Amino acid sequence: MDLELEGKRALVTGGSRGIGKIIAEVLLAEGVDVAILARGREALEATASSLSRTYGRTVLPLVADTSDKAQVDAAVKKAIESLGGVDILVNSAAVPGGSSSATSFIEIEDEHVLLDVNVKVVGYLRTARALAPHLIAKGWGRIINIGGLAAYNTGRPIATLRNVGVSALTKNLADELGPKGINVVALHPGATRTERTDAASEQRAKGNGIGRIVDAKEVAYVVAFLASPKSVAINGDTIATGGGTLGAIRY
Protein backbone atom coordinates (compact mmCIF):
# COMPACT_ATOMS: atom_id res chain seq x y z
CA MET A 1 0.00 0.00 0.00
CA ASP A 2 1.29 3.43 -0.95
CA LEU A 3 1.14 5.61 2.17
CA GLU A 4 1.32 8.75 0.02
CA LEU A 5 4.17 10.12 2.13
CA GLU A 6 6.65 10.80 -0.68
CA GLY A 7 7.67 14.46 -0.61
CA LYS A 8 6.10 15.29 2.75
CA ARG A 9 8.04 16.96 5.56
CA ALA A 10 8.14 15.93 9.22
CA LEU A 11 9.43 17.31 12.51
CA VAL A 12 10.33 14.61 15.05
CA THR A 13 11.17 15.72 18.57
CA GLY A 14 13.43 13.49 20.62
CA GLY A 15 14.80 12.38 17.27
CA SER A 16 18.45 11.81 18.12
CA ARG A 17 17.95 8.42 19.79
CA GLY A 18 15.45 5.81 20.91
CA ILE A 19 11.99 5.55 19.40
CA GLY A 20 12.19 9.07 17.95
CA LYS A 21 15.30 8.23 15.94
CA ILE A 22 13.71 5.08 14.50
CA ILE A 23 10.53 6.98 13.64
CA ALA A 24 12.64 9.48 11.69
CA GLU A 25 14.37 6.58 9.92
CA VAL A 26 11.10 4.92 8.86
CA LEU A 27 9.66 8.22 7.62
CA LEU A 28 12.82 8.83 5.58
CA ALA A 29 12.45 5.39 4.03
CA GLU A 30 8.92 6.39 2.96
CA GLY A 31 10.22 9.48 1.13
CA VAL A 32 9.76 12.09 3.86
CA ASP A 33 12.28 14.87 4.53
CA VAL A 34 12.78 15.14 8.28
CA ALA A 35 13.85 17.67 10.91
CA ILE A 36 14.95 16.02 14.16
CA LEU A 37 14.94 18.01 17.38
CA ALA A 38 16.82 17.23 20.60
CA ARG A 39 18.78 18.96 23.36
CA GLY A 40 22.19 17.36 22.85
CA ARG A 41 23.99 18.80 19.84
CA GLU A 42 26.64 16.09 19.42
CA ALA A 43 24.27 13.10 19.33
CA LEU A 44 21.76 15.06 17.26
CA GLU A 45 24.21 16.05 14.54
CA ALA A 46 25.71 12.53 14.42
CA THR A 47 22.25 11.02 13.95
CA ALA A 48 21.28 13.56 11.29
CA SER A 49 24.49 12.94 9.34
CA SER A 50 24.12 9.16 9.52
CA LEU A 51 20.46 9.13 8.47
CA SER A 52 21.05 11.58 5.63
CA ARG A 53 23.86 9.43 4.21
CA THR A 54 21.80 6.25 4.49
CA TYR A 55 18.60 7.54 2.91
CA GLY A 56 19.87 10.34 0.66
CA ARG A 57 17.26 12.78 1.95
CA THR A 58 17.30 15.99 3.95
CA VAL A 59 17.71 15.50 7.70
CA LEU A 60 17.77 18.83 9.52
CA PRO A 61 19.18 18.82 13.10
CA LEU A 62 17.51 21.29 15.45
CA VAL A 63 18.98 21.86 18.89
CA ALA A 64 16.21 22.86 21.31
CA ASP A 65 14.82 22.06 24.74
CA THR A 66 11.07 21.46 24.59
CA SER A 67 10.71 22.82 28.13
CA ASP A 68 11.53 26.28 26.74
CA LYS A 69 8.88 28.06 24.64
CA ALA A 70 11.31 30.43 22.92
CA GLN A 71 13.56 27.56 21.82
CA VAL A 72 10.58 25.57 20.54
CA ASP A 73 9.14 28.50 18.61
CA ALA A 74 12.51 29.21 16.99
CA ALA A 75 13.08 25.55 16.09
CA VAL A 76 9.64 25.14 14.51
CA LYS A 77 10.14 28.36 12.51
CA LYS A 78 13.51 27.09 11.27
CA ALA A 79 12.03 23.69 10.31
CA ILE A 80 9.31 25.37 8.24
CA GLU A 81 11.78 27.69 6.52
CA SER A 82 14.47 25.07 5.87
CA LEU A 83 12.17 22.28 4.66
CA GLY A 84 9.81 24.56 2.77
CA GLY A 85 7.01 23.62 5.15
CA VAL A 86 6.10 20.92 7.67
CA ASP A 87 3.23 18.45 7.24
CA ILE A 88 3.79 16.04 10.13
CA LEU A 89 4.73 16.53 13.77
CA VAL A 90 5.83 13.56 15.89
CA ASN A 91 6.31 14.41 19.56
CA SER A 92 8.69 11.96 21.21
CA ALA A 93 10.91 14.16 23.41
CA ALA A 94 10.82 13.10 27.05
CA VAL A 95 13.07 12.39 30.01
CA PRO A 96 14.06 8.74 29.25
CA GLY A 97 12.43 6.50 31.84
CA GLY A 98 11.16 9.55 33.71
CA SER A 99 13.00 11.74 36.21
CA SER A 100 12.00 9.62 39.21
CA SER A 101 11.67 5.94 40.07
CA ALA A 102 9.21 6.68 42.90
CA THR A 103 6.59 3.97 43.33
CA SER A 104 4.62 5.67 46.13
CA PHE A 105 3.11 9.14 46.25
CA ILE A 106 4.92 9.73 49.54
CA GLU A 107 8.26 9.41 47.73
CA ILE A 108 7.43 11.90 44.98
CA GLU A 109 9.38 15.14 44.82
CA ASP A 110 7.51 18.08 43.32
CA GLU A 111 10.35 19.02 40.99
CA HIS A 112 10.30 15.57 39.37
CA VAL A 113 6.60 15.83 38.56
CA LEU A 114 6.99 19.34 37.21
CA LEU A 115 9.99 18.42 35.06
CA ASP A 116 8.37 15.35 33.50
CA VAL A 117 5.09 17.10 32.77
CA ASN A 118 6.85 20.22 31.48
CA VAL A 119 8.96 18.26 29.00
CA LYS A 120 6.55 15.56 27.87
CA VAL A 121 3.09 17.14 28.12
CA VAL A 122 3.60 20.90 28.00
CA GLY A 123 6.52 20.34 25.62
CA TYR A 124 4.17 18.53 23.24
CA LEU A 125 1.73 21.41 23.58
CA ARG A 126 4.48 23.91 22.75
CA THR A 127 5.46 22.23 19.49
CA ALA A 128 1.84 21.69 18.43
CA ARG A 129 0.95 25.30 19.25
CA ALA A 130 3.93 26.63 17.32
CA LEU A 131 3.19 24.51 14.24
CA ALA A 132 -0.63 24.63 14.21
CA PRO A 133 -1.05 27.97 12.37
CA HIS A 134 1.13 26.65 9.53
CA LEU A 135 -0.86 23.40 9.30
CA ILE A 136 -4.18 25.24 9.48
CA ALA A 137 -3.13 27.55 6.65
CA LYS A 138 -2.31 24.49 4.50
CA GLY A 139 -5.53 22.70 5.50
CA TRP A 140 -3.79 19.40 6.20
CA GLY A 141 -1.49 17.88 8.78
CA ARG A 142 -0.78 15.08 11.22
CA ILE A 143 0.31 15.30 14.86
CA ILE A 144 1.34 12.08 16.60
CA ASN A 145 2.15 12.15 20.31
CA ILE A 146 4.19 9.35 21.90
CA GLY A 147 3.03 8.51 25.41
CA GLY A 148 3.45 5.21 27.22
CA LEU A 149 1.53 2.26 28.65
CA ALA A 150 2.26 3.48 32.19
CA ALA A 151 -0.88 5.60 31.64
CA TYR A 152 -2.95 2.49 32.33
CA ASN A 153 -1.22 1.32 35.51
CA THR A 154 -0.54 2.39 39.06
CA GLY A 155 2.85 1.86 40.68
CA ARG A 156 4.80 4.72 39.08
CA PRO A 157 2.65 7.78 39.73
CA ILE A 158 4.69 10.32 37.75
CA ALA A 159 4.83 8.06 34.69
CA THR A 160 1.07 7.62 34.91
CA LEU A 161 0.48 11.35 35.21
CA ARG A 162 2.62 12.36 32.27
CA ASN A 163 1.25 9.71 29.92
CA VAL A 164 -2.38 10.31 30.86
CA GLY A 165 -1.60 13.96 30.15
CA VAL A 166 -0.41 13.06 26.66
CA SER A 167 -3.76 11.38 25.91
CA ALA A 168 -5.75 14.29 27.33
CA LEU A 169 -3.76 16.82 25.32
CA THR A 170 -4.14 14.72 22.19
CA LYS A 171 -7.92 14.58 22.44
CA ASN A 172 -8.22 18.31 23.04
CA LEU A 173 -6.01 19.08 20.04
CA ALA A 174 -7.88 16.58 17.86
CA ASP A 175 -11.31 18.04 18.59
CA GLU A 176 -10.11 21.53 17.76
CA LEU A 177 -7.88 20.76 14.78
CA GLY A 178 -9.71 17.84 13.16
CA PRO A 179 -12.25 20.01 11.31
CA LYS A 180 -9.30 21.98 9.92
CA GLY A 181 -7.78 18.90 8.25
CA ILE A 182 -5.31 18.03 10.99
CA ASN A 183 -5.58 14.62 12.68
CA VAL A 184 -4.04 14.19 16.13
CA VAL A 185 -3.37 10.75 17.62
CA ALA A 186 -1.42 9.39 20.58
CA LEU A 187 0.52 6.13 20.87
CA HIS A 188 1.26 4.31 24.12
CA PRO A 189 4.28 2.04 23.61
CA GLY A 190 5.25 -0.43 26.31
CA ALA A 191 8.71 -1.88 26.76
CA THR A 192 10.37 -1.25 23.40
CA ARG A 193 13.70 -2.41 22.01
CA THR A 194 16.04 0.51 21.30
CA GLU A 195 19.80 0.97 21.45
CA ARG A 196 19.47 1.23 25.26
CA THR A 197 17.75 -2.14 25.76
CA ASP A 198 19.65 -4.91 27.53
CA ALA A 199 18.96 -8.64 27.79
CA ALA A 200 17.28 -8.34 31.20
CA SER A 201 14.86 -5.72 29.84
CA GLU A 202 14.02 -7.95 26.88
CA GLN A 203 13.24 -10.84 29.22
CA ARG A 204 10.94 -8.75 31.42
CA ALA A 205 9.02 -7.56 28.36
CA LYS A 206 7.89 -11.07 27.39
CA GLY A 207 4.74 -10.82 29.52
CA ASN A 208 2.78 -9.04 26.79
CA GLY A 209 0.29 -10.49 24.32
CA ILE A 210 2.88 -11.46 21.69
CA GLY A 211 5.38 -13.03 24.08
CA ARG A 212 8.33 -10.83 23.12
CA ILE A 213 9.50 -7.25 23.27
CA VAL A 214 8.26 -4.86 20.58
CA ASP A 215 11.00 -3.38 18.43
CA ALA A 216 11.14 0.39 17.97
CA LYS A 217 10.77 -0.06 14.22
CA GLU A 218 7.44 -1.85 14.79
CA VAL A 219 6.18 1.20 16.67
CA ALA A 220 7.53 3.45 13.90
CA TYR A 221 5.55 1.52 11.26
CA VAL A 222 2.35 2.45 13.11
CA VAL A 223 3.50 6.08 13.23
CA ALA A 224 4.14 6.05 9.47
CA PHE A 225 0.57 4.92 8.80
CA LEU A 226 -0.86 7.52 11.16
CA ALA A 227 1.27 10.20 9.49
CA SER A 228 -0.21 9.38 6.09
CA PRO A 229 -3.38 10.57 4.35
CA LYS A 230 -4.64 6.97 4.63
CA SER A 231 -5.22 7.41 8.39
CA VAL A 232 -7.95 10.06 8.16
CA ALA A 233 -10.50 7.84 9.96
CA ILE A 234 -8.44 7.90 13.18
CA ASN A 235 -8.52 11.13 15.19
CA GLY A 236 -8.23 11.89 18.90
CA ASP A 237 -7.65 8.31 19.98
CA THR A 238 -4.81 6.71 21.91
CA ILE A 239 -3.45 3.49 20.42
CA ALA A 240 -1.49 1.01 22.52
CA THR A 241 1.61 -0.32 20.75
CA GLY A 242 3.06 -2.60 23.41
CA GLY A 243 2.21 -5.95 21.88
CA GLY A 244 -1.03 -6.33 23.84
CA THR A 245 -1.72 -6.39 27.58
CA LEU A 246 -2.78 -9.81 28.86
CA GLY A 247 -6.14 -9.93 30.64
CA ALA A 248 -7.10 -6.29 30.14
CA ILE A 249 -10.20 -5.31 28.16
CA ARG A 250 -10.29 -1.65 27.11
CA TYR A 251 -13.24 -0.18 25.26
CATH code for the domain in which residue 129 is found: 3.40.50.720
Specify whether the CB–CB gap between 144 and 186 falls below 8 A. yes
> Which residues, in sequence order, are bridge partners of residue 184?
143
With a cut of 80, say whether residue 98 has pLDDT above it: no
In 3D, which of 46, 38, 24 has the Cα closest to residue 67? Answer: 38
Verdict on whether the full-model pTM lies above 0.85: yes
Domain range for 201 is 9-241
Q: Residue 250 falls within a domain, yes or no?
A: no
Q: Residue 251 falls within a domain, yes or no?
A: no
With a cut of 80, say whether residue 246 has pLDDT above it: yes
* Pairing state between β 9-13 and 192-193: unpaired
pLDDT digits (tens, 9 = 90+) for 145-196: 999 999 999 999 999 999 999 999 999 999 999 999 999 999 999 989 888 8
Q: Residue 4 falls within a domain, yes or no?
A: no
Give pLDDT, residue 133: 98
Angstrom distance (rounded) from CA 197 to CA 166 = 24
pLDDT digits (tens, 9 = 90+) for 31-77: 999 999 999 999 999 999 999 999 999 999 999 999 999 999 999 99
Q: Residue 73 falls within a domain, yes or no?
A: yes
Q: Residue 247 falls within a domain, yes or no?
A: no
The answer to which of 69-73, 200-204, 218-222 has the lowest mean pLDDT is 200-204
